[in-house]
Amino acid sequence: MPHVHIAYHHKYMRPRDYGSKLLARRRKPKPKAAKPAARQSASAGRPDKNTATAKPGRGVPAPSTARQGRGVPARSAAKPEAGAAPTRPAPPQAANTAKKTLDRILSKAGFGSRTEATEWIRDGRVKVNGKPVKSIDAWVDPKRDKVTLDGAPVREGAKLYILLNKPKGYLTTYKDPEGRPTVYQLLKGVPGFVGTAGRLDMDTSGLLILTSDTAFADFITSPASHVPKTYLVKSSARLTDEQLAMLRKGLTLDDGPTRPAIVTRLRDSEKYTHFEITITEGRNRQVRRMVEALGAKVLKLVRVKIGGIELAGLGMGAWRELSRAEVRGLLDTPLAEPKS
């Protein structure tokens, strides 16, 4: 039997063609006037990208104008599409601006750094409304919730600014695992918790500021603030004028070059040099490492001045509160730039 080619008219489609055509019509209803245009090409029956997800009867514009909808900024005029993803609930800080995380509450109240507060929370030392909370992600309203640390209430009271004459042999930390003495053992009578604004190593004595004002502490310790700090140094060898000039100009240490410093020779003995140095950075053991870069060592190191506040008149191991004028002076102390 000879092969006969049968051409299908669009009115007599094969079942699979008819099914796809019908599916496309169900997805994209067309106005009556647009029916003749739908026969121009096979692609005319495919749903348009801009109208395929929209349901009829919701005020969706005709296909010819829907393609221009990408540039229309007025989204508020259109109703939300059916099936759209639900709006994510606001975080606690957006829903209630008074809420804060526990570590932030402890830090702002002057109990310690946020790192220390995190350890206290995980150790179960912090309670909210009488119940221990070990999650650092917990949000608390300090005005409504009762927060305690080791049973003591946590309240953000008046800011404290303490000046301590630190003796040699004391650590600048709250607790030492080895049981060595810390500066907090010298703060009897201080009416609240204060954190250290910078550190002095165990073998260094002199001025140390402690405060419950974390923003003030950050300002004092930040190298960007250029707050000058003055030290008296006794070196293990006699230093030449060229070596002191190297300190003034700046040295390159393992963590980068130092800024220029103000250096004044005080006196020399047979073996040692006593000098004064003012720096505007707070790197770990910076003065000691600068002297070691010259081939000597520091035998004695005393910090005698921070900004405009001096050590004179404060006994060893004693403390006093800074006045408001002294605090303002630290924030406004101009730096006397060293002459290179």
Catalytic residues: 201
The dihedrals phi and psi of 80, each to the nearest 5 degrees, come to -65, 140
> Which of 247, 176, 262, 228 has the alpha carbon at shortest distance from 335?
228
- What is the separation of C-alpha 246 from the centre of its chain, rounded to a whole number of angstroms? 36
Buried residues in 58-81 as b, exposed as e (16+ CB within 10 A):
eebeeeeebeeeeeeeeeeeeeee
CA distance 314 to 124: 39
227 and 333 Cβ atoms separated by less than 8 Å:
yes
Q: Which helix (H) or strand (E) holds 234?
A: strand 229-235
DSSP reduced 3-state for 193: coil
Query: Which token pair is 34?
Result: 């647009």
Q: Which helix (H) or strand (E) element contains residue 161?
A: strand 161-166
d(CA 217, CA 102): 20
